[in-house]
């Protein structure tokens, strides 16, 4: 985390001007340039401003201050904007860099957000000034102290608990994160009728139902990568499980009945391969989503369809042929060629498959590998 002295320097006209004037230069060259005041500090900001063009474009455009750790832990603006909260007032227990608070500010008249680190709280206030946001109050306090003494009411409470221990170890269980929202629930229910929690993409959806039996769970992906698991609970929120792929759509399970398993795998009948989005896989909704569209043998596997799939969350590929996995024959056919390799439910990584088959990344061929029942298969794709 930035020290207070570094924060003061980053706010100075001299350093701000140096950052602005060197936005297009190589970061390493800037760090080694003795003519630039506090060159290494400037170079670090330039590095993260460049990375923010994709993750936090508004912050990049406004040349906000971006501490490395806070930047890494922050939501992307796309994911922050997706959260379905709205109303008059919202309490954000975990401000951090303020990306979620900024998104909430577009849907609430007033946002109160808490940040226990004094430098980060001061820095976030400065960033909000640069972003032109004036309806967010950043309080320098911890969530535990605030909620125990607060007498105000909010439409929503939002939290993205810190999932790192004091030693830097990743935490997954909600009760181990900070703040411990489960422990604070009696206080939170006094402050608001609704709670929304952002959790790690590693968080298990069944764990959400264990802690909050009547919650709504949404698994969110962006660009083929699982980003977060949202839990919403409280007044007016119906229990449900949803997989959302931003830019592709959402699927909510409406039927919890048993799924009829497909018949024995018959490769010759299939013309299309379906690669379900990671949000469906994480939510364990692949088979339910593809029921009636294609055959699926595993929540982590591919779907196989006889007709071209329509309206599915994921990608589909035309199949050229399906054959049993034969590494010796594949190596004879592919060695020295360029190939795109895909795999689900297969024991080797993509890197290991490339090594075993003697191929490099490229587009001469596209093959998928999987296990169905007790057999391994190679799917040649058009």
- pLDDT at position 30 is 96
Shared-domain flag, residues 296 and 177: no
Predicted TM-score (pTM) of the model is 0.91
* Tokens linked to 17: 């001007």
Any domain includes 203: yes
Shared-domain flag, residues 88 and 175: yes
pLDDT in tens, the chain (382 residues): 789 999 999 999 999 999 999 999 999 999 999 999 999 999 999 999 999 999 999 999 999 999 999 999 899 999 999 998 999 999 999 999 999 999 999 999 999 999 999 999 999 999 999 999 999 999 999 999 999 999 999 999 999 987 766 666 676 677 778 898 999 999 999 999 999 999 989 899 998 988 999 999 999 999 999 999 999 999 999 999 999 999 999 999 977 778 888 888 999 999 999 999 999 999 999 999 999 899 999 999 999 999 999 999 999 999 999 999 999 999 999 999 999 999 999 999 999 999 999 999 999 999 999 999 899 999 999 9
Whole-Å CA distances, 125 to 96, 158, 307, 379: 11, 19, 54, 54
Contact between residue 138 and residue 121 where contact means Cβ atoms under 8 Å apart: yes
Number of domains in the chain: 3
* Tokens linked to 227: 């980003």
Shared-domain flag, residues 104 and 219: yes
Helix (H) or strand (E) segment spanning residue 56: none
Shared-domain flag, residues 153 and 239: yes
Cα 367 from Cα 351, distance rounded (Å): 14
Shared-domain flag, residues 247 and 295: no
Shared-domain flag, residues 108 and 13: no
Any domain includes 171: yes
Owning domain of residue 134 = 72-252
């Amino acid at each position: 985390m930035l020290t207070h002295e570094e924060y003061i320097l980053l706010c100075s006209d001299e350093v701000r001007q140096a950052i602005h004037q060197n936005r297009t230069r190589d970061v390493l060259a800037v760090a080694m340039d003795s003519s630039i005041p506090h060159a290494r500090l400037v170079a670090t900001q330039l590095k993260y401003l460049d990375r923010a063009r994709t993750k936090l474009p508004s912050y990049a455009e406004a040349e906000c201050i971006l501490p490395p750790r806070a930047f890494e832990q922050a939501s992307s603006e796309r994911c922050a904007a997706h959260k379905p909260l709205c109303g008059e007032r919202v309490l954000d227990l975990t401000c951090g860099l303020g990306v979620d608070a900024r998104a909430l500010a577009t849907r609430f008249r007033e946002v109160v957000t808490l940040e226990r680190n004094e430098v980060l709280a001061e820095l976030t206030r400065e960033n909000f000034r640069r972003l032109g946001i004036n309806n967010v109050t950043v309080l320098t306090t911890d969530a535990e102290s605030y909620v125990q003494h607060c007498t105000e009411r909010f439409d929503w409470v939002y939290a993205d608990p810190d999932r790192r221990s004091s030693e830097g170890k990743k935490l997954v269980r909600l009760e181990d994160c900070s703040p411990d929202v489960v422990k604070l629930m009696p206080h939170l229910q006094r402050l608001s009728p609704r709670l929304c929690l952002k959790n790690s993409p590693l968080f298990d959806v069944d764990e959400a139902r264990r802690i909050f039996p009547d919650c709504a769970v949404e698994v969110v992906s962006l660009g083929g990568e699982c980003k977060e698991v949202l839990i919403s609970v409280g007044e007016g929120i119906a229990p449900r499980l949803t997989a959302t792929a931003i830019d592709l759509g959402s699927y909510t399970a409406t039927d919890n009945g048993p799924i009829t398993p497909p018949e024995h795998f018959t490769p010759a009948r299939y013309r299309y391969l379906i690669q379900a989005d990671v949000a469906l896989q994480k939510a364990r909704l692949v088979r339910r989503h593809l029921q009636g569209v294609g055959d699926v043998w595993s929540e982590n596997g591919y779907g196989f369809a006889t007709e071209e799939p329509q309206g599915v969350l994921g990608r589909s590929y035309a199949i050229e042929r399906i054959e049993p996995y034969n590494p010796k024959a594949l190596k004879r056919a592919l060695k020295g060629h360029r190939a795109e390799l895909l795999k689900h439910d297969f024991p080797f990584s993509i890197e290991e498959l490339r090594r075993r088959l003697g191929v490099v990344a490229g587009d001469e061929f596209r093959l998928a590998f999987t296990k169905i029942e007790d057999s391994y298969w190679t799917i040649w794709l058009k």
